Amino acid sequence: GPLNEVLFFPSPPACVEHLFTPARTLPCSCSLPHGVETSFGKMLGHVLSAKVSLDLCVFSFSHVELCRAVLLLHSRGIAVRVLTDADYMLITGSQIGALRRAGICVRHDVSNAVHMHHKFALVDRRKLITGSLNWTLTAVQSNKENVMVTEEPDLVPPYQKEFESLWEASDPG
C-alpha cells in the first residue's frame, strides 16, 4: 500500500548532518550522538525528499534545521511556498524572515481567522506531513507530539486543495 508512517515526539537530540550532506565521507565531529535514527531525523528526511515542490502551511516556524532544509530545497530549484500565521511570523526566533531574504515565497493569513493553526507540509504534491507539531525546537525536543507522513490518495488531495485555497486568499506582503 501507499506510504503511511507515524512519528512521535519528543525526539532525542542527535546529529542530522548526514541528511544535509549525504556525499560527505569524513565523519562528523559535532558533539551530538551519531548513527541514531530519531523521529526528527525521519521527518527531516521526508522534507528533504522533495524533488519538485514543497508547500508548507505552518502556524510557527523557528526550527533552525528545518529552516536549513527549506533553504537547501530552494537552492536546488525546488518550488517552495510557505504560508504562516500573521502574528507568529514576527515572534523571536522565527525563521520566516530568513526564508524571505533567501527569496522564498512566504504569505501570511489575512482572513478574519484568529489563527492559521495548521501544521502540514506537502512534498511534491503527493506526500503529506501533518500532525500536532509546530516547526519549533520546543515541539521537536520537549513536547509530546505526533506527525503522520502519508501518501494515501484519499488524504493528500484535500490538503493540497486547502493549501491552494489558503494561498490564493493570503497576503504576499
Residues 102-131 that bind its own copies (CB under 8 A): 109, 111, 113-120, 130-131
By beta-carbon proximity to its own copies, the closer residue of 71 and 156 is: 156
Told to check if 164 binds its own copies by CB under 8 A, we report: no
Give me the sign of the Cα torsion angle 7, 11, 17, 23. negative
Q: Quick check: is 119 catalytic?
A: yes
129 and 7 Cβ atoms separated by less than 8 Å = no
Closest CB 145 distance from its own copies, rounded Å = 5
The rounded distance, in Å, linking the Cα atoms of 11 and 50 is 22
Q: Quick check: is 74 catalytic?
A: no
By beta-carbon proximity to Zn ion, the closer residue of 30 and 114 is: 30
Which stretches of the chain bind its own copies, using CB under 8 A? 1, 4, 6, 8, 10, 59, 109, 111, 113-120, 130-133, 138-139, 142-146, 148, 150, 152, 154-155, 158-159, 162, 166
